[in-house]
Amino acid sequence: MKRKNSAKRKVAYFLSNNVNKFREVARILEEYGIVIALIRLKKKEIQNDSIEKIAKVSAEEAAEELNLPVVTEDAGLFIDALNGFPGPYSSFIYRTIGVEGILKLMSGVENRKAKFKSAVAYAEPSGKSRIFSGEVSGDISVTAKGDKGFGFDPIFQPYGYEGRTFAELDTDEKNAISHRGLAFRKFAEWYISKVR
């Protein structure tokens, strides 16, 4: 994709320990002429049913601690048949039961509808913050497919992609439609208008 604002490069400070997520975000923000700097600091992650609240608290606390404007993201896979599980607990569930554990929970389940949701939070040391959300709908596949992406990508089939999973799409294809891509594009549009 063509950069939208390459004349003046802007910098965003992204708090994350997930290098795969950082790479996706860097490619998305590059389209807007935004350079992203990775801050690998153990962020406080509250336990909450709202990914928006989790991202907001993490961003606000990091911005205050670092005395920098900070961007964080929280995301989750919300499966209809499992009442939205794993949702905001997706990272923990991935580390404990993984893709195969979710497929086992979904064994024999007819309703395979699911959503990936993303909440991007931007916070300044002054305490001002904003949230940008993105969501993509699809189905949980019967088996894991593909070797690209990370996390639950091998079992999430976004609608309109002939049954291919996120892990079967290249990074630019995934970023064009993903929950993270949608949320970070909203952030980028706002950020480049804010930081002139």
Q: Would you please indicate which residues are annotated as catalytic (active-site) residues?
A: 74
**Distance (Å, whole) CA 22 – CA 28:** 10
One-letter amino acid at 152 equals: F
| Non-local CB neighbours of 183 within 8 Å, separated by 6+ positions | 73, 118, 119, 120, 132, 133, 134
| Non-local CB neighbours of 149 within 8 Å, separated by 6+ positions | 20, 165, 166, 167, 169, 174
Among 21, 36, 10, smallest CA distance to 73 is for 21
Q: Is 162 helix (H, G, I), strand (E, B) or coil?
A: coil
Q: Are 38 and 22 in contact (CB under 8 A)?
A: yes
CA angle 61, 66, 71 (to 5 degrees): 65
How many distinct helices (H) and strands (E) make up the chain? 6, 7
**Distance (Å, whole) CA 108 – CA 69:** 47
